Amino acid sequence: MNHLNSILLEGIVVNDPEVKATSCQSGAQLVVLRLASHRYYRDQDTAEGRWKDDTLFMDVLAWGGLGRKVMELIPKGTTVRVVGRLKVSLYKSRDGAREYSRPSIVAQHIEFRRRRNADIVEGHGASGDVEDITLNAEGGDENASSLSEPVVIYEY
């Protein structure tokens, strides 16, 4: 019986996507996105109940066609929603004395919004329209007719 391994994370891309070398015989491309996900809460240990920020940094791994679309469309600073599976990689220190683990998300679905006509037109400023596109890893691109849905990239 398979057990459920699914995770949903929203955050801001803190670095431009990076292509990583792999040892895959198929030549599949691996792209890594580094996300910062913020959680705000009131500190119960102080009388004032000040707001605190708890930030989680997580690597998102996008393979093949999904990775190529990420490289094309998602720059640093983009807010994204990622659905995928949790993966924990084990590493040894350089001297081999200790092991440590590093969690990451293997992306299956990524959503984001992109500004339409983001270039500044002289005297008019940047356009506030949101461009919404649905993309899938098989290469299909179709423009969404509604402006309320985010850009979606699927990996199957």
pLDDT tens for each residue of 8-67: 999 999 999 999 877 776 767 899 999 999 998 888 887 787 888 899 999 999 998 888
Reduced to 3 states (helix: H, G, I; strand: E, B; else coil), residue 22 is: coil
Q: Is 43 left (phi over 0), alpha (psi -120 to 50) or beta?
A: beta
Residue 147 reports pLDDT greater than 50:
no
This model's pTM is above 0.75: no
pLDDT digits (tens, 9 = 90+) for 95-126: 888 888 989 999 988 988 776 554 433 334 44
List b or e across 87-122, with b for residues whose CB sees 16 or more CB atoms inside 10 angstroms: eeeeeeeeeeeeeeeeebbbbbbbbbbeeeeeeeee
CATH for 7-38+54-154? 2.40.50.140
pLDDT of 45: 80
- The band of 135, judged by pLDDT with boundaries at 50, 70 and 90, is very low
Asked if residues 29 and 19 have their Cβ atoms less than 8 Å apart, the reply is yes
Helices and strands in the chain, H and E counts: 1, 11
Domain ranges (residues) in the chain: 7-38+54-154
User: Letter for the amino acid at 8?
Assistant: L
pLDDT on residue 152: 65
Residue with tokens 């220190």: 93
Please name the amino acid found at residue 5: N
